[in-house]
Amino acid sequence: MTRLVLLRHGETDWNREGRYQGQADPPLNEEGRRQAEALVGRLAGRGMEAIYSSDLRRASETARILAVRLGLPLVLDPRLREIHQGEWEGRWVEDIMLTYPEAWALRWKEPLRARAPGGESILEVEARVSQAVNEIASLHPNGVILIVSHALALASLRCRANGLPLEDVHQWLPENGAVEEIDWSPDPARGTGDGG
Q: Which residues are part of the catalytic machinery? A: 9, 150
**Phi first, then psi: what are they for 15, rounded to 5°?**
-60, -45
* Strand partners of residue 149: 8
Distance separating alpha carbons of residues 52 and 74, to the nearest angstrom: 6
- Order of strands, sheet of 179-184, starting from the edge strand that comes earlier in the sequence: 74-76, 50-53, 144-149, 2-8, 179-184
Pairing of strands 2-8, 179-184: antiparallel
Q: Are 58 and 9 in contact (CB under 8 A)?
A: yes
